[in-house]
Amino acid sequence: MKVQLLAYTPEPEKVVAAAAKLCYSNASIDDLLAGLTTEKSREFVEMLATMGHESPTEHVSFTFAIEGVSRALLAQITRHRIASYSVQSQRYVKLDDFARVTPPEIAADPEAKAAFEEAMQSEAEHYQKITGILKEKHKAAFLAEGMEEKAAARMAEKKAIEDARFVLPNACDTKMIVTMNARSLQNFFHHRCCSRAQWEIRALADEMLRLCLKAAPSLFAKSGPSCVAGPCPEGKMSCGKTAEMRQKYMAMRSEGQKNG
């Protein structure tokens, strides 16, 4: 897995503070940024967090480049609907020897790993076989319609992989660009940093949070699973590790403040 923070709203904490200031004062637009130093902006952001006033944080956004994650993760992250996603297409990109994500539990067991690799190899071979069969069929049809051979081959392959991709597994890796505003990110971290989240998306959420803490440490000071800033919402399903989780994310915040 590789995660990079490509871009984010310049001076995010100052933008959030300005939006909040507009809500609570009669300042004009021209005066909105007056006196909003870095320190004052951070104080304003921290005050908002204690008040639970989240809407001003929607005015700043963060864009991440993510690769080396599975299609299984893609199905999970796109459930966070207040976000923008651009994903590598299996319809347009031919995957002759696709990379795959191997779950740690499988990787740690030689027998399970061997079975997994055998299954992945079989999927890759079937993908290539189906692609080849359909490509020849579509190429013949395009040539019969009078299409030039090179163009017919190109169009035939595109049409073939559109259907052949149905045999590709959840383990098949993918790449994406994801943009979320800060409020959506907070919700994402609450759910996906939780110890009960699936291991891969939890690892992704942790890495995204590390990057956010470097860019805007005060804005994400209370980020992480819900138990970091309050009681665990999982009830009987709680992992029972609240103290351990708070210690983990406190250390992450300290590191972010140091590098921010």
Burial 178-207 (b: 16+ CB within 10 A, else e): bbbbbbbbbebbbbbbbbebeebbbbbbbb
Q: Which of 71, 183, 192, 253 is catalytic?
A: 192
pLDDT, residue 83, reads: 97
Active site residue 192: yes
The answer to whether the CB of 37 falls within 8 A of the CB of 166 is no
Q: What is the pTM of this model?
A: 0.91
Q: By the 8 A CB rule, do 256 and 214 touch?
A: yes
pLDDT along the chain (260 residues), means of 10: 97 91 76 82 84 88 98 97 96 90 97 97 96 97 96 96 96 97 97 96 98 95 90 89 92 78
Tokens of 215: 């860019």
- Quick one: pLDDT at residue 256? 74
| Positive or negative torsion for Cα 227, 66, 158, 99 | negative
Among candidate residues 35, 52, 64, the one with its CA nearest the CA of residue 181: 64
Residue 181 tokens read as 């505003």
**What per-residue confidence (pLDDT) applies to 260?**
60
pLDDT of residue 23: 79
